[in-house]
Amino acid sequence: MSTNKRLRIAMQKKGRLSDESQELLKQCGVKINLQGQKLIAYAENLPIDILRVRDDDIPGLVFDGVVDLGIIGENVLEEEELTRTAAGDKVEYKMLRRLEFGGCRLSLAVDSDVEFDGPESLRDCRIATSYPQLLKRYMVEQGVPFKSILLNGSVEVAPRAGLADAICDLVSSGATLEANGLKEVEVIYRSKACLIQRKEPLSEEKQALVDKILTRIQGVQQADESKYIMLHAPKDKLEEITALLPGVENPTILPLAHDDTKVAVHVVSQENLFWETMEQLKEKGASSVLVLPIEKMLA
């Protein structure tokens, strides 16, 4: 159990989640010096230590209270939860927030030339996976018996290597499946990265720091989804033009130097502005349309 005064956060050392986990903390104002191979890094400006580990170990570290927070894929979290529950071990954690990265799906895939007619087609088949619990839960729900082949990596080679008839693995773009002559036939789980906290209460100071980080994450994520839009609009078309801007209630209207016929319109929009809308704005007489990213927001 953590008695440390500094908040301990576990994140993936190297892999699909590591860059964005680091970036998220950086955007939240946590300054960490992550020199190369260091397994523990210390924040320079806040009482936070970062443990850099294999992603598979993160849920357990949080469940056991070894770290206070963890950034982990929901797929790995849920697999570990099912594994521990099946073994009769206690699973305790708090889900703080779903994050905007690490999006992927756990899918069943078969050789591209094999006919697939629903999960029933996999009756008594060998299915290779790194996620035996999530796969088992799905197949039990479908009422289809199968044989699980556990592989910790390179699952996609299993059918060609004659190890399995199908696979159940993570897919994002689908490029890995295609490169291995496989086709995705059923999505069994959709995942994103998430932030979890150990169940046992933290000290008041640590909890206050967690709350601060959470508010900052919200500010970062809200900003990611929002845009700052600036344009010039003819005064007589102002209403029509602002009506085209997505999710805008109170635009800022400013006069333009040396031009009485137009005004500058500045708005924060909760959505991106698509090319189609920009073209419509132009048709209505808008000019100098700028769409800028927002770094942080605090309501």
Ligand X SMILES: O=P(O)(O)OC[C@H]1O[C@H](OP(=O)(O)OP(=O)(O)O)[C@H](O)[C@@H]1O
Ligand Y SMILES: Nc1ncnc2c1ncn2[C@@H]1O[C@H](COP(=O)(O)OP(=O)(O)OP(=O)(O)O)[C@@H](O)[C@H]1O
Can you give the binding site for ligand Y, defined by CB under 6 A?
Answer: 12, 15-17, 54-56, 73, 75-76, 102-104, 170, 172, 191
Residue 56 binds to Mg ion (criterion: CB under 5 A): yes
Bridging pattern class, strands 48-53 and 7-12: parallel
Pick the piece of the chain touching Mg ion (CB under 5 A) from 48-56, 57-65, 120-128, 243-251. Answer: 48-56
* Exposure of 177 in the CB half-sphere (CA atoms within 13 A): 21
- Binding residue for Mg ion, selected from 13, 25, 32, 55, defined by CB under 5 A: 55
Q: How far is the CB of 203 from ligand Y (least distance, A)?
A: 29
Q: How far is the CB of 175 from ligand X (least distance, A)?
A: 4
User: Do 17 and 58 touch, CB atoms closer than 8 A?
Assistant: no
Q: How far is the CB of 171 from ligand X (least distance, A)?
A: 4
Residue 18 binds to ligand X (criterion: CB under 6 A): no
Bridging pattern class, strands 193-198 and 69-73: antiparallel
Nearer to ligand X, 102 or 251 (CB): 102
Nearer to ligand Y, 11 or 263 (CB): 11
Tokens of 124: 């008594």
Q: What is the spatial order of strands in the sheet that 259-269 belongs to?
A: 252-256, 259-269, 227-234, 287-293
Q: How far is the CB of 103 from ligand Y (least distance, A)?
A: 6
191 binding partner (options Mg ion, ligand X, ligand Y, none; Cβ < 5 to 8 Å by kind)? ligand Y
Return the residues of window 120-179 that contact ligand X according to CB under 6 A. 153, 156, 169-176
12 binding partner (options ligand Y, ligand X, Mg ion, none; Cβ < 5 to 8 Å by kind)? ligand Y
What's the CA angle centered on 247, arms 220 and 289, to 5 degrees?
85
169 binding partner (options Mg ion, ligand X, ligand Y, none; Cβ < 5 to 8 Å by kind)? ligand X
Longest C-alpha distance within the chain, in Å? 78
Cβ neighbours around 124 below 10 Å, total: 9
**CB environment 210-248: b (16+ within 10 A), e (fewer):** beebbebbebbbebbebbebebbbbeeebeebbeebeeb
73 binding partner (options Mg ion, ligand X, ligand Y, none; Cβ < 5 to 8 Å by kind)? ligand Y
Cβ neighbours around 68 below 10 Å, total: 26
Residue 37 binds to ligand X (criterion: CB under 6 A): no
Interacting residue ranges for ligand X, rule: CB under 6 A? 16, 153, 156, 169-176
The contact set with Mg ion (CB under 5 A) reads 55-56
